[in-house]
C-alpha cells in the first residue's frame, strides 16, 4: 500500500479496510485484522465509521457482522473504480500476501 492511499483515506486502517473489501467483496473485522496482522479495534472503528457515512453496509451472518460496499451510492462506485486501479499498482508479493488468500475451506479428505 502506498503512502498516498493512506493519506487520501486519512489512516492506514481505513485504507486497509477499503482495499480488502475491494479485493474480496465482503469481510468481517477479525478477518481483515488477521490478514494485515493488526489489532482488531482500529479495523472495527473504521468499519463503523464507513458504515455510518454510507460507504459500507453490513448484515449479520450468524454471530458475525459482514461488511460490504453500499452499491446504491454513486460515490461508492467511483471510489471502487479508484480502489481497483490502486490494487493493480500493488506489488505482486503484497498481492499474494494480502489479496489472494483462500476464502473457502477445503473439502473433507481432499488430497493436498
Give me the CATH number covering residue 33. 1.10.10.10
**Residue 53 counted as domain residue:** yes
Assign 86 a pLDDT band (cuts: 50, 70, 90).
very high
Note the pLDDT tens digit of each residue in 10-54: 999 999 999 999 999 999 999 999 999 999 999 999 999 999 999
Within the chain, how many helices (H) and strands (E) appear? 6, 3
**Residue 102 counted as domain residue:** no
Q: Which among 2, 7, 6, 106 is positioned nearest to 17, based on CA atoms?
A: 6
**Residue 104 counted as domain residue:** no
Structural domain of residue 87, as residue ranges? 3-96
**Residue 112 counted as domain residue:** no
Q: How many domains does the structure of the chain reveal?
A: 1
**Residue 25 counted as domain residue:** yes
What per-residue confidence (pLDDT) applies to 26? 94
Crossing angle for the helix pair 12-24 and 40-52, nearest 10 degrees?
A: 70
Amino acid at each position: 500500500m502506498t503512502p498516498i492511499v493512506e493519506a487520501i483515506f486519512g489512516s492506514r486502517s481505513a485504507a486497509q479496510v477499503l482495499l480488502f473489501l475491494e479485493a474480496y467483496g465482503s469481510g468481517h473485522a477479525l478477518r481483515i485484522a488477521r490478514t494485515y496482522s493488526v489489532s482488531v479495534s482500529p479495523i472495527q472503528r473504521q468499519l463503523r465509521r464507513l458504515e455510518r457515512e454510507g460507504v459500507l453496509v453490513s448484515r449479520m451472518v450468524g454471530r458475525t457482522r459482514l461488511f460490504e460496499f453500499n452499491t446504491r451510492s454513486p460515490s461508492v462506485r467511483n471510489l471502487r473504480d479508484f480502489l481497483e486501479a490502486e490494487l493493480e499498482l500493488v506489488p505482486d508479493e503484497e498481492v499474494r500476501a494480502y489479496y489472494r488468500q483462500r476464502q473457502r475451506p477445503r473439502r473433507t479428505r481432499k488430497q493436498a
